[in-house]
């Protein structure tokens, strides 16, 4: 398995694909991340065409177990970010 692409590598590749400079590519990547963060934190969802969907889901209060002590405790309700992979991406990987 290869190493994951770093932000620097992603910015360089994005700049090359866009035919622009790295500064513009960095600004675009940072803007997309900020928009997704803001929308998901507000309880919305963002669909990234060809990649998938980012959603914030509510998790109810539940019973959990501490593996070290075996003690059962109640964990309060919280939110969890989920990413659902698009079918097109799944299909392109499994060719």
CA of residue 92 relative to chain centroid, distance: 19
Residue ranges covered by each domain of the chain: 1-42, 44-95
Q: What is the pLDDT of residues 30-39, one digit of tens each?
A: 999 999 999 9
44-95 CATH choice from 4.10.520.10, 3.90.1150.10, 3.40.50.2300, 2.170.190.11: 4.10.520.10
Say what the pTM is. 0.76
Q: Is the pLDDT of residue 12 over 90?
A: yes
- pLDDT for 94 equals 86
How confident is the model over 39-90, as pLDDT tens digits?
999 989 999 999 999 999 999 999 999 999 999 999 999 999 999 999 999 9
Nearest to 26 by CA among 50, 83, 18, 47: 18
């Amino acid at each position: 398995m290869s190493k994951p692409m770093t932000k620097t590598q992603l910015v360089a590749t994005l700049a090359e694909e866009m035919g622009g400079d790295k500064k513009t590519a960095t600004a675009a990547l940072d803007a997309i991340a900020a928009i997704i963060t803001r929308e998901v934190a507000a309880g919305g969802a963002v669909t990234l065409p060809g990649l998938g969907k980012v959603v914030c889901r509510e998790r109810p209060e539940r019973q959990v177990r501490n593996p070290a002590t075996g003690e059962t405790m109640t964990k309060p309700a919280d939110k969890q970010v989920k990413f659902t992979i698009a079918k097109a991406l799944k299909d392109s990987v499994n060719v």
